[in-house]
């Protein structure tokens, strides 16, 4: 099937990046947020990223303007009625995602495909709550979306071959490199990445090193672009906590258990870059 109009649910860290990437690839894109304040903040993040891209010489001002011209924001679910594909990127919570898709289902056509950007939830469980489980797949992007090349395409148990092919081809059309991932918490990348990030928090909590030295160790010693504590601040400590809880519930393995410090930082509102303070101050 051909996609022309893409809907994105949520214009937070990931939703804004996904919406930008879709619009930049030529799709008419509608992004929905819960209120005008959150929408303005999300669209502002896109404008800033596009502007920085022009300044770095990565894109022309024409591309910036065309991208923005294809992108609209809305707070109303009806704004998504013309979408061929709706990609959900809201909080990592099963009930919230089910409710969001139920609302979208009342306004879109039968052929519209749904995709979730969940990091760790069971895609089959989200799909099963909709009236179109065969037209549902996981489409897991990486942060920052406009830069990171990978997309994990997740085939849930009820996902039809046609849907799977359509979303895989769609990911390629964004200029991404899709890989096929199983419907298991964390898919491929987070299954490996999350225990590492949680271990870095445990190391910090136990005084193995300062935040700076732990990060310096992994950047200069292993060639990682960001140290683990910087990456945690970048991903968001709330999102990381939800992901760890979900993975621990599924696997019951200590490697996925959220460390006590992560929970306390989340409860104290130290969410990383997005709140101005995490392991570092911004």
Binding site for ligand CAA (CB under 6 A): 49, 52-53, 56, 58, 119, 142-144, 147-148, 190, 193, 225-226, 231, 235
Pick the closer one to ligand CAA by CB: 114 or 241: 241
Q: 243: how many CB neighbours lie within 10 A of its CB?
A: 26
Q: Which of 190, 245, 253, 275 is catalytic?
A: 190
Of 130-149, which residues contact ligand NAD (CB under 6 A)? 141, 143
Return the H-helix or E-strand segment holding 126.
Answer: helix 123-128
138 bridge partner residues = 116, 154
Up-side HSE of residue 49: CA atoms within 13 Å toward CB? 22
13 binds, among ligand NAD, ligand CAA, none (CB under 5 to 8 A by kind): ligand NAD
Contact 246, 239 (CB under 8 A): no
CA torsion angle 202 206 207 208 (round to 10): -60
Contact 203, 197 (CB under 8 A): no
Binder among 3, 5, 10, 64 for ligand NAD (CB under 6 A): 10
Q: Which of 117, 152, 172, 250 is catalytic?
A: 152
Please confirm, yes or no, whether 152 is among the known catalytic residues. Answer: yes
Contact 119, 140 (CB under 8 A): yes
Told to check if 33 binds ligand NAD by CB under 6 A, we report yes
Please confirm, yes or no, whether 61 is among the known catalytic residues. Answer: no
Cβ-proximal residue to ligand CAA, closest one:
53
Please confirm, yes or no, whether 140 is among the known catalytic residues. Answer: yes
Where would I find the beta strands (DSSP E) of 96-236?
A: 113-116, 136-141, 150-155, 177-182
Pick the closer one to ligand NAD by CB: 96 or 162: 96
Least Å from the CB of residue 235 to ligand CAA = 5
Contact 130, 106 (CB under 8 A): no
Question: Taking CA 98 as the corner, what is the angle to CA 120 and CA 231, rounded to the nearest 5 degrees?
Answer: 30
Of 11-30, which residues contact ligand NAD (CB under 6 A)? 11-15
Pick the closer one to ligand CAA by CB: 4 or 60: 60
58 binds, among ligand CAA, ligand NAD, none (CB under 5 to 8 A by kind): ligand CAA
Please confirm, yes or no, whether 190 is among the known catalytic residues. Answer: yes
Segment near ligand NAD (CB under 6 A); pick from 125-133, 149-157, 213-221, 233-241: 233-241
Catalytic residue list: 119, 140, 152, 190
């Amino acid at each position: 099937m051909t996609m022309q109009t893409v809907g994105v649910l949520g214009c937070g860290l990931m939703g804004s990046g996904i919406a930008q990437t879709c619009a930049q690839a030529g799709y008419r894109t509608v992004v929905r947020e819960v209120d005008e304040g959150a929408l303005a903040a999300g669209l502002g993040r896109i404008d800033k990223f596009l502007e920085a891209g022009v300044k770095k010489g990565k894109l022309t001002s024409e591309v910036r303007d065309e991208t923005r011209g294809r992108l609209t924001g809305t707070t109303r679910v009806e704004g998504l009625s013309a979408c061929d594909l709706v990609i959900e990127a809201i909080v990592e919570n099963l009930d919230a995602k089910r409710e969001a898709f139920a609302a979208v289902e009342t306004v879109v056509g039968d052929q519209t495909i749904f995709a979730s950007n969940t990091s760790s939830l069971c895609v089959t469980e989200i799909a099963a709550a909709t009236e179109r489980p065969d037209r549902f797949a996981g489409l897991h992007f990486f942060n920052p979306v406009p830069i990171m090349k990978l997309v994990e395409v997740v085939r849930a148990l009820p996902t039809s071959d046609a849907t799977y092919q359509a979303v895989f081809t769609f990911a390629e059309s964004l200029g991404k490199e899709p890989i096929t991932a199983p419907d298991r918490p964390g898919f491929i990348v987070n299954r490996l990445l999350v225990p590492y990030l949680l271990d870095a928090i445990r190391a910090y909590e136990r005084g193995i090193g300062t935040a700076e030295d732990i990060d310096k160790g992994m950047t200069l010693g292993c060639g990682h672009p960001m140290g683990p504590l910087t990456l945690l601040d970048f991903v968001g400590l709330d999102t990381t906590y939800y992901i760890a809880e979900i993975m621990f519930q599924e696997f019951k393995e200590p490697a996925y258990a959220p460390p006590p410090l992560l929970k306390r930082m989340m409860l104290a509102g130290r969410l990383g870059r997005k709140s101005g303070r995490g392991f570092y101050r911004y």
